[in-house]
Structure 1
Amino acid sequence: MLEFLNDLLWGKVLIALLITVGVGFTVASRFVQFRYFGRMFRILSASQAFQRDQHGHLSSFQALLLSIAGRVGGGNIAGVAVAITLGGPGAVFWMWVVGLMGMATSFLECTLAQTYKQSEADGTYRGGPAYYIARGLGSKWRWMAAVYSLLLLVTFGFGFTTLQSYAVATSVGDAFGVPVLYTGIALAAIVAAIIFGGVKRIARVSEVLVPIMAAGYLIITAIVLVMNIERIPDAITLIVKSAFGLEPMIGGGIGAAILMGVKRGLFSNEAGLGSAPNVAAVAYVPHPANQGVVQAFSVFIDTIIICSSTAFIILLSGIYDPSNMADVGGVALTQSALADHVGDWGRSFVSIALLLFGFSTILYNYYLGENSVDFLSTANRPLAHAFRIAVIGLVCWGATTDLGTVFGFADVTMGLLALVNLIALIGLFKPGLRILKDFDRQIAEGNEQPIFEARKFKDMNIDLKAWDLEPEDVERLRARNEAAGTLQSQT
């Protein structure tokens, strides 16, 4: 049954919906992910990266790091290796396609998450697909919002948390000989110390952890690329030709390349799943589309940069042999490939990278589950504490358990999660474009930082309290309106 559902969802339904939403919004938005590509990098400028929100909210940069902490995980190391093993080098090309389309999808879903976010009593925000379904599509669709929340809880809060713990523990065990039980206990203890501090503590940990793990992985990739610089054009040619069946049969042919590229690409960058919007909504930004731009960039970082790094490490190595891939795959393939480039310490490096990637993803998965629990039973503290204890137990248990069935089940629930969210995004195309047009208009008028005037969008059923502007933005808006009024009277 799991195999049948997987084939149906990933082989037919989701490919059609991903293309519909990704290509459809790309065209309707006039290629927003490319028009604002340069703007994405501004969030990494020194003034932005070290800026702290003066009023207690998470900053846009913190939300970016939190989403990268979730997107960048085992899928970037083990998932890419699996895709190449089963789908051939061509799967990497389709990962790129999914990533570029996914940038537009992520822009739409994260902009909607910001637009329909909800204010909390402690001054924080909550948001995500459950909230934009319930508010954007209307109360009659609240059942669909509840279904989404339940799927998110099962998939990320429980399933993927367990899988990440398993991946981390087995990798550490293979590289350093540490028993998986000890790794599981240590991991559970550290996770417990962080998650009881709430989303702000998770964000502070991500601020430190994400740049270190991403920079380390990119540095080792750069070393590999320099060592094999003359072979890079051949690797790219192999990827492109294999994607269209122009090479001898590798993996499962062109069909397997597309399927594995789409499946592993979505698993890695999560664009269309609706997971990232849950953390995109927690930040204060002066305009919803601003966070859409930032989150589109996180898809680029995950798929086009990090996944490609793993792909080139594998394809440029002497280990990769498409005619004999039966004995090596997943993390072991990436470890063996890096060891072939830099020596045996490469195996340990991959294990450490997977440890950091997996740990950050567990924290991210926890927050997604917590957000679901809060939507299903608002402000239920005993239930929230019970969920935290369950997550800690799953981290410890997952490290010691063979999770083959869990992998299959998680693939199905992830597919259903994407199905619900993509249907919702199609229904919310017009509101998403309306917010983007407001952003475009202000940019065209010369306003470098657009400001969202929520009362002009009351008909969209947004939470006006969640859009109380911070004092500096109120002042900028007042000055802007006064200048516009003066110009109008002169005209």
Structure 2
Amino acid sequence: MDAVNDWLLTWGDRLWTWMVLPVVVGLGIYFTVRSGVVQFRLIPEMFRTLTDKTPRGDDGRPQSVSAFQAFTISAASRVGVGNIAGVGTAIALGGPGAVFWMWLMAFVGGASSFIESSLAQLFKVRDSDGFRGGPAYYMERGLKARWMGIVFAVILIVCFPFAFSSLQANTITATVTASMGAESAAWLPWVIGVAVALLTALVVFGGVRRIASVTQMLVPLMALAYLLLGLVVVGLHIDRLPAVFAEIFTQAWGFNEVVGAAFGYIVLTGVRRGMFSNEAGLGSAPNAGASAAVTHPVKQGLVQTLGVYFDTFLVCSITAFIILVSVPDLSTATRGIGLTQGALVGTLGEWSNIALSVIIFLLAFSSILGNYYYGESNIEFITPHRGVLAGYRTLVVIAVLAGSVVGADLVWSFADGVMGLMALTNLIAIGLLSGIAFRLLKDYTWQRREGRDPVFTRDRMPDIDGIAVWEDELSVTGPIDVVTRRRQSQKHRDHLQSER
């Protein structure tokens, strides 16, 4: 088993070093330049569109989940144990300098996130719960390559709802047993596993709207709790903060590495763990982004870019500062979640271990829900058969139970490599389709300059095949809002006329 694990680690490192990393960075820079640095230029628009009113159908109900609910579904998957264990591992392996590369990756990756989620919105389709879509859908409808969509869908299903969700469940079990001091109790992981599996079943068998309602409650709660805990730790070590910032920026270039890591390994660790955490360009978040009912595809592109920043600049940074202000000497640091736990307990005492256990449960459980939804969207892409979906839901619950009671090293190594394949497949697709996303951005910014709340209909791009929704303004905005929008447009035209 150790030999298999070592082979997977070597294979994964080579894939990321020679294939994924150059494509991630190269396309991210290209998207940044071509879009006019959209990930920075339109930050105010990201916050504005986050609270956009959800278009309603003829029955008066929301057409699908709201922009904010889609944000929380994707954030639920993004913000998981990777923000605690992954950052701890990155710092233990690459030193403080790895944090700089995580930050830079988030900024560059923000452009990739914008492109993939805008495309997912454009090529989304209707289902019984509202909308669904994602990379598999824009591969089929935009590239006319259904085979590529199926390959991507299979990789995602293996990686997220099964491998990653079992790892999240494993982390819940390990954290709870450690906080209770009951590592030797063989029965406890089974009790925890059954409880988490039952909670998962209660939510996932309720469909995307129930998932959205749960994540809408959990994500802000866990983020606030973790932020407050981190601020207390940083406040108690405030004198260390200037030195920590200096270490992050100076050691990013390989100078005075605490753990003796080479420059290339620092970069690889930061980029790899950063992408695992914020998922920019990975092809996972667009599955959530496509589910939102919005009036223009670019709106969800902007919202999902904000999700990258929320994950990395807020949650991951809090973890980094908790560790770096509390553990000045990283030469003997343990990898993973133990590094964060040790930093908290050393500063705040044993009670913080229990608080962290609660936060980790919220992080990991919300990630299980987000991962599940990604898989559901791709199951429905492969086959519409409801029996397959029911079987998938059952297998996800079983994977959560199994992950709670088995070792995780081999699954981590396998998932890391599969994630690289998934990223590579998606990045090739969005690179080929990026011209359409740039046209969408141009249309959006033109409408904003005209003083309008942007509305997209497919007759604005009549040359693009494969657009299943966006039929007309009435279907996009809803029967009530279209009247309001026409009045606003008329007032704007009258205002322009009076100025002339």
TM-score surpassing 0.5?
yes
- Aligned equivalents of 1:191 and 1:60: distance in 2? 23
Does 1:113 pair with 2:117?
A: no
Q: 1:395 aligns with which of 374, 393, 400?
A: 400
Residue 157 of structure 1, CA deviation: 1.9
Q: Is the 8 A contact 1:72 1:302 kept in 2?
A: yes
Does 1:190 pair with 2:199?
A: yes
Q: Is the 8 A contact 1:242 1:250 kept in 2?
A: no
The sequence identity of aligned pairs, in percent, is 41
Q: 2:315 aligns with which of 306, 311, 316?
A: 306
Deviations 1:257-296 (A, max 9, x none): 1111011000000011110000101111011101111111
The range that moved more, 281-290 or 461-470, is 461-470
Alignment of 1:231-246 (within 5 A): 231-246=240-255
Q: Which runs of 5+ in 1 are unaligned?
A: none
- Aligned equivalents of 1:233 and 1:249: distance in 2? 17
- Distance change >3 Å, CA 25–CA 473, structure 1 → 2: farther
Question: Which residue of 1 is the match for residue 215 of structure 2?
Answer: 206
Question: Which residue of 1 is the match for residue 233 of structure 2?
Answer: 224
Deviations 1:15-44 (A, max 9, x none): 111112211111101011111112223356
Paired residue type of 2:431? I
Residue 477 of structure 1, CA deviation: 4.8
- Aligned equivalents of 2:53 and 2:91: distance in 1? 38
Residue 446 of structure 1, CA deviation: 1.9
- Aligned equivalents of 1:472 and 1:212: distance in 2? 33
Q: 1:176 aligns with which of 166, 180, 199?
A: 180
Q: Is the 8 A contact 1:21 1:425 kept in 2?
A: no
- Aligned equivalents of 1:370 and 1:476: distance in 2? 36
- Aligned to 1:119, the other structure's residue is in SS state strand
- Aligned to 2:303, the other structure's residue is in SS state helix
Alignment of 1:4-403 (within 5 A): 4-42=10-48, 48=51, 55-56=61-62, 57-120=64-127, 122=128, 124-138=130-144, 141-177=145-181, 179-317=188-326, 319-325=327-333, 328-378=334-384, 380-403=385-408
- Distance change >3 Å, CA 454–CA 348, structure 1 → 2: same
Question: Which residue of 2 is the match for residue 409 of structure 1?
Answer: 414
Question: What count of residue pairs does the alignment treat as equivalent?
Answer: 480
Question: Which residue of 2 is the match for residue 427 of structure 1?
Answer: 432
- Distance change >3 Å, CA 239–CA 15, structure 1 → 2: same
- Aligned equivalents of 1:169 and 1:28: distance in 2? 45
- Distance change >3 Å, CA 423–CA 51, structure 1 → 2: closer
- Aligned equivalents of 1:289 and 1:94: distance in 2? 27
- Aligned equivalents of 2:307 and 2:433: distance in 1? 22
- Distance change >3 Å, CA 443–CA 188, structure 1 → 2: same
- Distance change >3 Å, CA 484–CA 269, structure 1 → 2: same
Q: Is the 8 A contact 1:118 1:466 kept in 2?
A: no
Paired residue type of 2:418? T
Paired residue type of 1:194? V
- Distance change >3 Å, CA 277–CA 8, structure 1 → 2: same
- Aligned equivalents of 1:324 and 1:487: distance in 2? 67
Deviations 1:66-105 (A, max 9, x none): 1111110010000000001111111111000111111111
- Aligned equivalents of 1:439 and 1:236: distance in 2? 38
Paired residue type of 1:142? R
- Distance change >3 Å, CA 52–CA 214, structure 1 → 2: farther
- Distance change >3 Å, CA 451–CA 108, structure 1 → 2: same
Residue 478 of structure 1, CA deviation: 3.6
Q: Is the 8 A contact 1:455 1:464 kept in 2?
A: no
Q: Is the 8 A contact 1:84 1:251 kept in 2?
A: no
Please, what is the CA RMSD of the aligned residues? 2.1
Residue 453 of structure 1, CA deviation: 2.2
Q: Is the 8 A contact 1:280 1:295 kept in 2?
A: yes
Paired residue type of 2:443? D
- Aligned equivalents of 1:286 and 1:49: distance in 2? 9
Residue 376 of structure 1, CA deviation: 0.8
- Aligned equivalents of 1:308 and 1:127: distance in 2? 31
Query: Which structure 1 residue ranges, 4+ long, deviate > 6 Å from structure 2?
Result: 49-52, 483-491
- Aligned equivalents of 2:260 and 2:330: distance in 1? 7
- Aligned to 1:347, the other structure's residue is in SS state helix
- Aligned equivalents of 1:324 and 1:248: distance in 2? 13
Deviations 1:109-164 (A, max 9, x none): 111110110112x26111000011111112xx211111000101110121111111
Residue 8 of structure 1, CA deviation: 2.0
